[in-house]
Structure formats: C-alpha cells, structure tokens
Amino acid sequence: MKFSGREVILGIGGGISAYKSADLLRRLQDVGLDVSVVPTKASLNFVGTATWEALSGHPVPTSLWNNVHDVAHIKLSKKASAILIAPTTADLLAKLANGLADDLLTNIVLATTAPLILIPAMHPEMWSHKATQENVERLRNRGVLVIEPDEGRMTGEDIGVGRYPTVERIIKETTTFLEITSPLLGKQILVTAGGTREPIDPVRYIGNRSTGKQGFAIAKVARSQGAEVTLIAANCDLPTPLGVRRINVESASQMQEVLNIEFTKTDALFMTAAVADAKVEKIANEKIKKSDLETIKLSPNPDLLVDLKSFKKGQVVIAFAAETSGDIVVEGRRKCVAKGADLIYVNDVSNGAIFGSDQTSGWVIDSDGNSEKFDLNNKDTLAFELLKRAQVKLG
Ligand code: CTP
C-alpha cells in the first residue's frame, strides 16, 4: 500500500461532527496510515479520549502540560507525514490563519513542515462569514488543503453549506493531495554530508573543505516531500533539518560502518560527503613533535561507494564529485561508472568556488554518459532537481 506505515496526526476540533472523525480515522487506517489523534479540549465535550485511544491504538495527548519533559508537540510534529484536522471549527481556522498556538494541536501545526489538511464543518452563517472566508483564503495561499464542506441539513433547523464532507471525499482529496505534495512518501532516503576527518594524533587530523550544505539541503527537501530521511553527517556545523534522523560520524571508517547498516534499508543514497582518500597508517597516542612529522605514513581509505556495490539491491545511488582541473564531464562519466552510481553531480570547485556557498553549478551525468548542465543554482534547487531524477528512477 502506497501510504503503508506513514504516521499522520488527526486533530479533532470542538464541533458536533467530531463523532464522524471516528469513521474517518478507520478509513485513513484502511489506506495504510498510522493515525495518532490530538483532540482539542473543546472537542472532548463531544467525543472522549477513550474512543480515540481504542480506535487509534495510541495514547491520546490532550494538553501541552502533560509530560512536559517529553516536548510532545515537537515530537509529534517531527514524526507526522501529514496533519488533518476534522472537524476544523471557525475558531481553529482563525487561529491557524494567524499562527496562534495556545494548545497542543495548534503548537503541533506551527512546529511542523508536514502538509496540512483542514476539513471545516460549522453552521452556514459561520462558514460564509467574511472573516472565515478570509482565513480560508490565507491558509490556501500558504499551501494548506482546505476541503470544501458539503451542503445540507445542519444540527438544528438550518440548511446550507457547512456540513462535514463525506468520508469518501475526504479520503479521495487527501490521498490525491498527499501524492502531489509528498511524492517521496514511503521512501527511505539516505544522505551523507560533510567531510571526513582522519586522525593523525590527539591534536591533528586530515580533513577537507566540505561544509555539508548540499547534503543538508537534500535531506531537508527530501523530508519536505514526505521521505523518511537519515543523514550521516561528518563534522558538519549545521542545524539538523526538522524531522530528519541524524547520525554524526568523524572518519571514513565510521562512515562506512554506519553506511553498511543503513544502505540495505534505503531506497536512494545521496553520497555528497567528501570522503578522505587517505588515512594515517598508525594513529599516534601522543602529539607528534614537528621534528618527527615526516614519519607520518599514509595508507588509502576504502572507496565507500565502490564497496557498497556488492550490497546493491535496486537502490538508486547518486554520487558527487568536486573537480578543479581537466575535462570535468569526462571525469564525471568515468567516476559514475567506476562507483556503480546511477547519477553523478560534478562541479568545478577551482578557485575556492562552491564550498560553503549557497550556490552551486555543475553537470548531472547518468550512467549512460548523458550530461546536463546546471548553471548557478541555489543548493535547495539542485536538491529538488536531483530528487526529481531519483524519484523517476525509483518508479
Ligand atoms: N567516495 C567514496 N569513498 C571514498 C572517496 C569518495 O565513497 N573513499 C565517494 C564520494 O562520497 C563521492 C564520490 O565517491 O560521492 C566521488 O568522490 P571523489 O572524491 O570525487 O572520488 P575519488 O574516487 O576520491 O576521486 P579523486 O581521485 O578525484 O579524489
């Protein structure tokens, strides 16, 4: 199933139609989603936590002030692939449009990068009120899916637009939206970033100029497209993108150890890390005196990508190379094949270009040797382009 195992949050607003969300929860589970429920305090007047716990199979947090050490809103917002709120009351629409966060659910919404789907249900007068309509427009302009309510009989005597939509329509519109906004939903993406450091003695190491910016951009964009992302970071002084699992390593051998475990679980590997080609044969326990520096002997590090070839079972592999001389495209073609990669991104880093910068330019080359030039691009834009190409190969 396309959505198998993906976690979503179902927020419940304080409206009489809250009971209909019990059925919605079941149908979301039918398409493979793992649903956690976060009701607002007002909604508990209509449906209690026991119903949500029994149906979802998860504990149901109701307040920011329970288990504060757990920082529930950040934990939940990180693991969610999407947030649905049904019913969304007029009050919730107003709060979300204004970025207010005064309870657990609104805090989760403000802290997440996951797609947001709102299912308003209220009396027709409230739905058609200018204030509500303006709030809906603001939310839609921000990329939020606001599903149109149905027309029909309300609680009490009135008839009009404002009814909770049929669960079938909610499922259809939600799954279509998630397929567009989260093309990598259900995919495991592995990214290496930064530059490895090979220790010489307790004070010195062999290192390189890679900062990890391109790898972090790929991790961030992949996560925003719904992927489960693991980032193996070598000596990067950058904040972890929200929702990304980060494993810090220092040397090439540590990176290889983690890669060997993670690669088998992955759909695509983006090997942006600059791996040191050499290590010191014997790491000194004491600082080497400068008079003895010429005693340092180097030995080659394994080529991590080449060694992964024997583990390859359909994973898409994207290599990266930084060159300073020669025919960059020819060298890119050679490396792509030698390393068993499906694609390689090669860039010209002569005269200090690219490293540490937010811009990049280079060529994307595939294993058949086809090359495509990328002129000065933001590293996020390159991440989008490479993820798009990886997705085509993943099918
Ligand atoms: N790479 C690797 N293991 C190494 C060196 C590089 O897996 N020991 C990976 C890098 O992460 C990158 C790709 O191979 O994705 C190309 O890196 P590059 O340093 O250009 O390759 P080298 O084979 O080291 O080439 P060169 O001789 O130009 O240094």
Q: Which CATH number belongs to the domain containing residue 271 in this structure?
A: 3.40.50.10300
Give 301's contacts (C-beta < 8 A, 6+ positions apart). 198, 252, 253, 275, 276, 277, 278, 279
Q: Which of 86-95, 104-113, 369-378 has the highest mean pLDDT?
A: 86-95
Q: Which two tokens stand for residue 93?
A: 């629409």
- 348 and 379 inside one domain: yes
Asked whether residue 371 is domain-assigned, the answer is yes
CA of 321 to the centre of ligand 1 (A): 7
Q: What is the pLDDT of residue 1?
A: 62
Residue pair 281/222 in contact by the 8 Å Cβ criterion: no
Taking the centre of ligand 1 as the mean of its atom positions, its distance from the CA of residue 353, in whole angstroms, is: 18
For a pocket test of ligand 1, which of 258, 305, 308 has the largest count of ligand atoms closer than 8 A to its C-beta?
Answer: 305
Give a yes or no: residue 1 inside a domain.
no
Tell me, in angstroms, the distance from the centre of ligand 1 to residue 336's CA: 10
Q: Is the CB of 321 under 6 A from ligand 1?
A: yes
Q: Which of 73-82, 172-181, 196-205, 366-375 has the lowest mean pLDDT?
A: 73-82
Are residues 228 and 203 in contact, defined by beta-carbon separation less than 8 angstroms? no
Same domain, 196 and 157: no
Instruction: Classify residue 256: in a domain, yes or no.
Output: yes
Ligand 1 neighbour 275 (Cβ under 6 A)? yes
**pTM assigned to the model:** 0.83
Location of structure tokens 């326990």: 285
DSSP single-letter state for residue 312: -
pLDDT, greater one: 7 or 74: 7
What stretch of H or E contains 177? helix 167-181
Residue 219: the pLDDT is: 98
Q: Which atom number of ligand 1 is nearest to the Cα of residue 318? A: 15
- pLDDT (tens digit, 9 = 90+) per residue, 223-248? 999 899 999 999 999 999 988 999 99
262 in ligand 1 pocket by Cβ < 6 Å? no
**Residue 353 has what pLDDT?**
63
* 271 and 305 fall within a common domain: yes
Is residue 69 a part of any domain in this protein? Answer: yes
Which of 196, 253, 271 to mutate for ligand 1's pocket (most ligand atoms within 8 Å of CB)? 271
Let me know whether 201 and 167 are in one domain.
Answer: no
305 and 378 together in one domain = yes
Report the pLDDT averaged over residues 314-319.
97
Q: Indicate the pLDDT class of residue 352, thresholds 50, 70 and 90.
A: low
Q: How remote is the C-alpha of 324 from its chain's centroid?
A: 32
Residues spanned by the domain of 57: 7-178
Confidence of residue 77 (pLDDT cuts 50, 70, 90): confident
**Ligand 1 proximity of 270 Cβ (cutoff 6 Å):** no
Written as six digits, the tokens of 349 are 């880093």
Q: Say yes or no: CB of residue 271 within 6 Å of ligand 1.
A: yes
- Residues 171, 244, single domain; the answer is no
Instruction: Indicate whether 166 and 196 sit together in one domain.
Output: no
**Do 229 and 136 lie in a common domain?**
no
Q: Is 301 a catalytic residue?
A: no
Q: How far apart are CA 118 and CA 86, in angstroms?
A: 7
Residues in a beta bridge with 321: 346
* Sequence-separated (6 or more) residues with CB below 8 Å from residue 161: 124, 127, 128, 148, 149, 150, 151
Average pLDDT of 208-220?
Answer: 95
The CATH number of residue 155's host domain is 3.40.50.1950
Residue 354 has pLDDT above 70, yes or no: no
pLDDT by residue (tens digit) across 41-51? Answer: 999 999 999 99
pLDDT: is 73 or 303 the higher one? 303
CA of 221 to the centre of ligand 1 (A): 24
In a domain, 183, yes or no: no
- Given a cut of 90, whether residue 3 has pLDDT beyond it is no
Q: 347 lies in a domain?
A: yes
* DSSP state letters, 338-388: HTT-SEEEEEE-GGG-STT-SEEEEEEEETT--EEEEEEEEHHHHHHHHHH
Gap between the Cα atoms of 14 and 186, Å rounded: 32
CA–CA separation, 318 and 342 (whole Å)? 6
Q: Are residues 211 and 359 in the same domain?
A: yes
150 in the same domain as 109: yes
Average pLDDT of the chain is 93
195 shares its domain with 71: no
> 11 with 54, same domain?
yes
**pLDDT, mean of residues 34-38:** 96
Find the mean pLDDT for residues 64-90. Answer: 85
Looking only at the bridges linking them, the beta strands covering 188-194 and 198-199 are unpaired
Cis before residue 87, ω within 30 degrees of 0? Answer: yes
Question: Which of the residue ranges 73-77, 207-211, 249-253 has the most confident prediction, judged by mean pLDDT?
Answer: 249-253
pLDDT in tens, 12-28: 999 999 999 999 999 99
Active-site residue among 66, 67, 135, 208? 208
**115-147: pLDDT as tens digits:** 999 999 999 999 999 999 999 999 999 999 999
Confidence of residue 29 (pLDDT cuts 50, 70, 90): very high
- pLDDT for the residue numbered 323: 86
Q: How many domains does the chain have?
A: 2
